[in-house]
With several copies, the nearest count.
Chain A
Amino acid sequence: MKLALKILPKPEVLDTQGRAVQTTLSTHGFDLKECHVGKYIVLEVNTQDPAEGMEMAKAMAEKGLVNPLIEYYEVESL
Chain B
Amino acid sequence: MSLEEKLKLYRINPSEYETIKDILGREPQGVEWAVFSALWSEHCSYKSSKVHLKKLFSQSERVLQSFGENAGIVDLGEEEKVAFKMESHNHPSFIEPYQGAATGVGGILRDIFTMGARPMALANYLCFGEPQANRMKELVDGVVRGIGGYGNCVGVPCLTGQTNFHKSYNENILVNAMAVGLFTKGDPICLSQAQGVGNYVVYVGAKTGRDGVHGASMASESFDEDSESKRPTVQIGDPFYEKLLIESCLEVMKKDLVVAIQDMGAAGLTSSSFEMADKGNVGLTLNLDQVPLRDETMTPEEILLSESQERMLLICEPSRFEELKKVFEYWGLDAACVGEVIEDPIVRLIWKGETLTEMSPKAVVDNAPQYNRPFNPWQRKDDSTFTNSSAESENIEDLKNILSRVEAGTKEWVYRQYDQRVGASTARDCSSPVGVSALPSGRGLGIVLGCRPHVMRQDAWIGGMDSIAYPAIELASKGFEVLATTDCLNFGNPEKQEVMSEFVASLDGMNKACEAFVTPIISGNVSFYNETLDKGVSPTPSTGLVGLRPHLKNLPQSSFVKEGESVLLITLGKGLSSGFWSEIQDKDSKINFQEDLSELATRTKTLTQATLDLPLSSSRIVSSFGLAYTLSKMTFENGLGVEIQFQGSPFVEPFYQVVISTNDPEKWKTAFKSEELLVEEIGKVKGSHFKWNNVSFEVAELKEIYEGSWQKSLPGI
Asked, given contacts A23-B332, A27-B716, whether A13 binds B233 with beta carbons under 8 Å apart, the answer is yes
Contact of B236 with A14 in the complex, beta carbons under 8 Å: yes
Chain B contact residues, majority secondary structure: loop
Judge whether A20 and B209 touch: CB under 8 Å.
Answer: no
On whether the beta carbons of A14 and B240 are closer than 8 Å, the reply is no
Given A14-B294, A16-B238, A16-B241: A70 touches B99 (CB 8 Å cut-off):
yes
Q: Known: A69-B95, A70-B96. Contact between A13 and B236, CB under 8 A?
A: yes
Chain B's closest residue to A9 (CB) is B236
In the complex, whether B206 has a CB less than 8 A from a CB of chain A is yes
Judge whether A67 is part of the interface by a CB distance below 8 angstroms: yes
**Chain A residues, Cβ within 8 Å of B209:** 12-14
Which 8 A-B pairs have CB atoms at the shortest separation, nearest pair first? A16-B238, A14-B236, A69-B234, A69-B96, A12-B233, A70-B234, A12-B210, A13-B236
Q: How distant is the Cα of A69 from the Cα of B234 in the complex, in angstroms?
A: 7
Contacts of A70 in B (CB 8 A): 96, 99, 234, 236
Contacts A27-B716, A70-B96 given; indicate if A13 touches B240 (C-beta within 8 A): no
B207 to chain A, nearest CB (A): 9
**Residues of chain B lying within 8 A (CB to CB) of residue A19:** 238
**Contact between B95 and A14, CB atoms less than 8 A apart:** no
Chain B residues, Cβ within 8 Å of A14:
206, 209, 211, 236, 238, 294, 308-309
In the complex, are the beta carbons of B234 and A16 less than 8 A apart?
no
CB pair B236 A16 closer than 8 Å: yes
Does B295 make an interface contact (CB < 8 A)? yes
Complex CA gap A16/B231 in Å reads: 21
Cα of A16 to Cα of B308 in the assembled complex, Å = 12
A70–B100 CA distance with the chains assembled, in angstroms? 12
12 contacts between A and B (CB under 8 A): A12-B210, A13-B234, A14-B206, A14-B209, A14-B308, A15-B236, A16-B236, A16-B238, A23-B332, A67-B96, A69-B234, A70-B96
Closest Cβ–Cβ distance, residue B204 to chain A (whole Å): 16
With A and B bound together, what is the CA distance between A9 and B238 in angstroms? 14
Return the CB mask of A6-41 against B: 1 if under 8 Å, else 0. 000100111110011001000100000000000000
Which residues of A are found within 8 Å of B332, using beta-carbon distances? 23
**Nearest CB of B to A10, in Å:** 8
CB-based contact B295/A12 at 8 Å: yes
Residues of A within 8 A of B (CB): 9, 12-16, 19-20, 23, 27, 67, 69-70
Most buried by B among A14, A16, A20, A70: A14
A66 to B219, CA, bound (A): 26
A23 CA / B206 CA spacing, docked (Å): 13
**Contact yes or no, A69 B231, CB < 8 A:** yes
Which residues of the partner chain B approach A20 to less than 8 Å between Cβ atoms? Answer: 240
How many angstroms from the CA of A14 to the CA of B716 in the assembled complex? 20
User: Can you name the residue of chain A whose Cβ is closest to the Cβ of B142?
Assistant: A67
Interface 1/0 per residue, B226-256 and A, CB below 8 Å: 0000010110111011000000000000000
Q: Which residues of A lie under 8 Å from residue B294 when comparing CB positions?
A: 14
B152 CB to nearest chain A CB (Å): 15
Q: What separation, in Å, do the CA atoms of A69 and B237 have in the docked complex?
A: 14
Whole-angstrom CA separation of A9 from B234 in the bound complex: 11
> Residue of A at shortest CB range from B235?
A14
- Determine the residue in chain A with the shortest Cβ distance to B332: A23
CB-CB nearest in chain B for A19: B238
Q: From residue A2, how far is it (CB to closest CB) to chain B in Å?
A: 18
Q: Are A16 and B210 in contact (CB under 8 A)?
A: no
Q: In the complex, A27→B95 CA distance in Å?
A: 24
Q: Which of B196-234 contact A (CB under 8 A)?
A: 206, 209-211, 231, 233-234
State in angstroms the CA–CA spacing of A9 and B236 once bound together: 11
Residues of chain A within 8 A (CB-CB) of B233 are: 12-13
The proximity string for B residues 304-336 relative to A, scoring 1 for CB distances below 8 Å and 0 otherwise, is: 000011000000000000000000000010000
Question: What residues of chain A lie closer than 8 Å to B309, measured between beta carbons?
Answer: 14
CA distance A69 to B206 in the complex (A): 21
Which partner residue on chain B sits nearest A20 by CB separation? B240
Cα A70 to Cα B211 with chains together (Å): 11
- Taking a contact as CB atoms closer than 8 A, the residue among A9, A16, A69 that contacts B240 in the complex is A16
Chain B, 660-717, CB within 8 A of any chain A CB: 716
User: Nearest Cβ distance between residue B662 and chain A, in whole angstroms?
Assistant: 47
| Chain B 6-45 interface mask (CB, 8 Å, partner A; 1/0) | 0000000000000000000000000000000000000000
In the assembled complex, which residues on chain B have CB atoms less than 8 Å from the CB atom of A27?
A: 716
Closest to B241 in A: A16
**In the bound complex, how far is the Cα of B231 from the Cα of A63, in angstroms?**
20
Residues of chain B lying within 8 A (CB to CB) of residue A23 = 332
Of listed B95, B211, B236, B309, residue having the most chain A CB within 10 A = B236
Chain B residue numbers with a CB within 8 Å of A16 are 236-238, 240-241
* Min CB gap B389→A, angstroms: 51
Beyond A9-B236, A14-B236, 13 additional contacts (C-beta under 8 Å) are: A12-B209, A12-B233, A14-B294, A14-B308, A14-B309, A15-B236, A16-B238, A16-B240, A16-B241, A23-B332, A67-B96, A69-B96, A69-B231
Whole-angstrom CA separation of A20 from B238 in the bound complex: 10
Q: Give bound CA distance, A56 to B146, whole Å.
A: 29
Closest CB-CB distance, B407 to chain A, in whole Å? 25
Chain B residues with CB under 8 A of A13: 209, 211, 233-234, 236
For B80-98 the 0/1 string (1 means CB < 8 A from A) is 0000000000000001100
Inter-chain contacts of A9 with B (CB < 8 A)? 236
Q: How far is the CB of A60 from chain B (nearest CB, A)?
A: 16
Shortest CB-to-CB span from A38 to chain B, Å, is 14
Chain A hits for B236, CB < 8 A:
9, 13-16, 70
Return the chain B residue nearest A67 by Cβ.
B96
What A residues does B716 contact at CB under 8 A?
Answer: 27
Q: Which chain A residue lies CB-closest to B96?
A: A69
Residue of A nearest to B138 (CB): A64
| Distance, CA A19 to CA B236, complexed state (A) | 13
Q: Which residue of A lies closest to B206 (CB)?
A: A14
**Who on chain B is nearest to A64 by CB?**
B138
**Which residues of B have CB within 8 Å of A12?**
209-210, 233, 295
Query: Once the chains are docked, how many angstroms separate the CA of A12 from the CA of B297?
Result: 11
Within the complex, the shortest CB–CB distance from B240 to chain A, in Å, comes to 6
CA distance A67 to B610 in the complex (A): 54
Nearest chain A CB to B485 CB, angstrom units: 34
**Closest Cβ–Cβ distance, residue B329 to chain A (whole Å):** 13
